[in-house]
Amino acid sequence: MITLLIADDHPLYRDALRGALSLTLPDLILREAGDLNTTVDILEKEDIDLLLLDLHMPGSHDMFGLLHIRKLFPELPVAVVSGTEDATLISKIVGVGALGFIPKTASSGDIANAVQSILDGDIWLPDSVSEELEEVDEEFSELADQIATLTPSQYKVLCYMRDGLLNKQIGYNLDIAEATVKAHVTAIFKKLGINNRTQAVLIASQLELEPPK
């Protein structure tokens, strides 16, 4: 039996995926999660054969969720599910190790075909972007590896720094002490090999990270 985890914060879309996969791949065991923390908890406790990951669910936000999971579970096959069909973004997703990209507009048949192809060991991409993919350069790969070492809390602080917030403002938004924010900033600088906020902003911008919600 194959166990698949659907990680998406929209119950209706999880239901749609479940329906599409149950009809065409009835032997699948399906698990569900609505945020990054729950996803990681399930991955730590169960043997999952394939993760379908929404880029924008709580805790994930654009590339971070994928990078975080790839760091924690490097052998886990991951396919990204998103409503954003941008060739540059998809190139980066594949460049950091995802085995597929499934648009949320894909038909039930395409979803089933994508899942089966990935389970068979292939990379699946929509025809509309497969010829537009760009080669990911070494600099981006190195940045992605650095970002993957951050904790979710450190990532949130990094995004707020990118948006120009001061430590006091970041603490207010995250409901943590300013001293805790300073500790996160120090850890971020160390992990990213930088020494000022300007460099942190440049890194966050290059990875197109979204602000935490």
Residue 140 lies in a domain: no
Return the closest-CA partner of residue 80 out of 171, 8, 30: 8
If DSSP codes are grouped into helix, strand and coil, which group holds residue 147?
A: helix
Q: Give yes or no: residues 92 and 178 share one domain.
A: no
Instruction: Please give the share of the chain, as a percent, with pLDDT higher than 70.
Output: 93
Q: How would you classify the pairing of strands 2-7 and 28-33?
A: parallel
Given 101, 130, 159, the domain boundary residue is 130
Count structural domains, the chain. Answer: 2
Q: Which CATH number covers residue 192?
A: 1.10.10.10
49-63 burial by CB neighbour count: b if 16+ within 10 A, else e?
Answer: ebbbbbbbbebbbbb
Residue 139 lies in a domain: no
Condensed to tens digits (0 to 9), the pLDDT of residues 55-94 reads 888 887 678 889 999 999 999 999 999 887 778 888 888 8
Q: Give yes or no: residues 177 and 95 share one domain.
A: no
Residue 57 lies in a domain: yes
Q: Give yes or no: residues 114 and 154 share one domain.
A: no
Q: Give yes or no: residues 113 and 189 share one domain.
A: no
Condensed to tens digits (0 to 9), the pLDDT of residues 166-193 reads 999 999 999 999 999 999 999 999 999 9
Q: Give yes or no: residues 95 and 177 share one domain.
A: no
Q: Give yes or no: residues 114 and 195 share one domain.
A: no
Please report which confidence band the pLDDT of residue 130 belongs to, taking 50, 70 and 90 as the band edges.
low
pLDDT at 27: 82
Alpha carbon distance 65, 74 (integer Å): 13
Average pLDDT of the chain is 87
Domain holding 176, by residue range, is 150-206
Please report which confidence band the pLDDT of residue 213 belongs to, taking 50, 70 and 90 as the band edges.
very low
Q: Give yes or no: residues 35 and 72 share one domain.
A: yes
Residue 10 lies in a domain: yes
Q: Give yes or no: residues 59 and 103 share one domain.
A: yes
Q: Give yes or no: residues 119 and 188 share one domain.
A: no
Burial classification of residue 80, based on how many CB atoms lie within 10 Å of its CB (0-12 exposed, 13-18 middle, 19 or more buried): buried
Q: Give yes or no: residues 8 and 99 share one domain.
A: yes
Residue 143 lies in a domain: no
Residue 83 lies in a domain: yes
Q: Is the pTM of this model over 0.95?
A: no
Q: Give yes or no: residues 13 and 102 share one domain.
A: yes
Q: Give yes or no: residues 87 and 35 share one domain.
A: yes
One-letter amino acid of 59: G
Given 67, 100, 130, the domain boundary residue is 130
Return the closest-CA partner of residue 48 out of 153, 126, 124, 118: 118
